[in-house]
Amino acid sequence: MTVTYKLEPGGALTGRIRVPGDKSISHRSIMLGSIAEGITRVSGFLEGEDALATMNVFRAFGVRIDGPERGDVMVHGVGMRGLKAPHKMLDCGNSGTSMRLLCGLLAGQNFDCALTGDDSLRQRPMQRIAEPLGQMRAEIVTAEGGRPPLKITGVANMRGIEYRLPIASAQVKSALLLAGLYARGKTCVTEPAPTRDHTERMLAAFGYPVERNGGTVCVTGGGKLTATSIDVPADISSAAFFMVGASIAPGSDVTLEHVGVNPTRTGAIDILRLMGANIELINQRQAGGEPVADIRVRHAELRGIEIPVELVPLAIDEFPVLFVAAANARGVTVLRGAEELRVKESDRIQVMADGLRALGIGAEPAADGMRVTGARYGGGVVDSHGDHRVAMAFAIAALRAGAPITINDCSNVATSFPGFVELADSAGLKIKCD
């Protein structure tokens, strides 16, 4: 289905908003709940296409999963060795998280399986997962160029390894830790910079011992997971669109409720504050082992900055909309050290640069980032290339545009943010969907 967003310029964001549940935590709640012993109850589950793809995969493994019903899910765990061989190739849809984490979890099973995805996912690199898992004796065969579909042969004698990530990646780290649950001995992963730690936190919540020492995290194979309750907070990656929108649009004052503020995910807040944003965290608390807060954002004059490289892994999914913040800042914003953006749902560096230029913004892409010069801009037609975060980012840009903006190829917004158009419209964005 072809979906096009059409936006009138101007407006402000106001009120209290609850964005959908965290995608990363929703994925992991199904994966770990499925291999736990007992019934895991999940609330706040993201009913987006990516997380639903993970749910459907585990149903194919014979796991009974009730729901989702208004974000509530019950996962009837089958234990570490209770997954059954699927009868067909498993479709991960558009979800790179599903495919990469499944590689680790499936490598040590007692059956073989195959994973595929949509056109976009079949273009994304998987060799950086297959290679370190191979060091653990996993058998994963990729298609040409190290891309999906993947064939995974279950291996009974996987071994733990010590692995140093060449590039900070939560997905690679998580895949190795999940494989480590089935390996002999200890599996340790050292990362060059902090990345999201939802896997480690959730393993601990399920009662599985996790060792952490600085930038190294370890698990020892042969343990078990015990069912628990998971409260999925609102996704900070989804909240970031409204944080940027309220920051750039005069008259805005919006409060985002019950947002996950895990310190490995708050890079967008830190970057926006460095740019001068007025962001306040209210009612900070714990929910299901994750820190959460209400986030109040009011309009502020932003300034261009050189984004600190140490914040890049902590905001990797939020850069499409952060580029929109840069377009509305006074001066120049420079991003470096973000080469991973080239291999997301689209080449987010090039696609965002093309879209910003279409609106009249100076954007100079580089191999690992971009230089954006803030200025007044007009409207135009933007191609999101099927990337949900690109589509939503340019929708937010309309708040300060000088003319209407049309965004093509927006159907994949449903992968992470079902109901985006309705929620954005209620908050003050002048958006329609064709």
pLDDT at 184: 97
User: How high is the pLDDT of residue 47?
Assistant: 96
Mean pLDDT, to the nearest integer, of 380-406?
A: 97
Given the residues 197, 317, 383, 387, select the one marked as catalytic: 317
Q: Is 36 left (phi over 0), alpha (psi -120 to 50) or beta?
A: beta
Question: What is the model's pLDDT at position 287?
Answer: 82
Phi first, then psi: what are they for 183, rounded to 5°?
A: -95, 155
Same domain for 354 and 252: yes
Same domain, yes or no: 421 and 349: yes
Strands 229-231 and 211-213: unpaired
Q: Record the pTM.
A: 0.91
Do residue 258 and residue 393 come from a single domain? yes
Mean pLDDT of the 261-280 span: 97
Q: Quick one: DSSP state of residue 411? A: G
pLDDT (tens digit, 9 = 90+) per residue, 189-220? 999 999 999 999 999 999 999 999 999 999 99
Residue 170: strand, helix, or coil = helix
Task: Please state the rounded mean pLDDT for residues 255-271.
Answer: 97
Bridge partners for 69 per DSSP = 72
Residues 173 and 250 in one domain: no
Domain count, the chain: 2
* Cis before 166? omega within 30: no
| One domain, residues 281 and 177 | no
Residue 143 is part of which domain span? Answer: 23-222
Question: Does 200 reside within a domain?
Answer: yes
Does some domain include residue 74?
A: yes
pLDDT in tens, 154-191: 999 999 999 999 988 999 999 999 999 999 999 999 99
Q: Predicted confidence band at 289 (pLDDT cuts at 50, 70, 90)?
A: confident
Residues 404 and 334 in one domain: yes
| Whether residue 149 has pLDDT greater than 80 | yes
Supply the pLDDT for residue 132.
Answer: 97
Q: 396 and 266 in one domain?
A: yes
126 confidence band (pLDDT: 50, 70, 90): very high
Contact (Cβ atoms closer than 8 angstroms) between residue 404 and residue 8: yes
| Last residue in a domain, options 176, 197, 222 | 222
Average pLDDT, the chain: 96
What type of residue is 162?
E
The answer to whether residues 359 and 334 belong to one domain is yes
The verdict on 16 and 94 lying in the same domain is no
Q: What confidence tier does 346 reach under pLDDT thresholds 50, 70, 90?
A: very high
CATH classification at residue 241: 3.65.10.10
Instruction: State residue 73's pLDDT score.
Output: 98
317 part of the active site: yes
Mean pLDDT to the nearest integer, 43-62: 97
| 278 pLDDT above the threshold of 80 | yes
- Inside any domain, residue 387: yes
228 within domain boundaries: no
Residue 1: pLDDT over 80 = no
- The answer, yes or no, to whether residue 101 has pLDDT greater than 90, is yes
Burial class of residue 276 in the structure, from the number of CB atoms within 10 Å of its CB (0-12 exposed, 13-18 middle, 19+ buried): middle
| Mean pLDDT of all residues in 21-46 | 97
Verify that 238 and 193 share a domain, yes or no.
no
Q: How confident is the model at residue 307 (pLDDT cuts 50, 70, 90)?
A: very high
Tally of residues, the chain:
434
Tens-place pLDDT, residues 243-257: 999 999 999 999 999
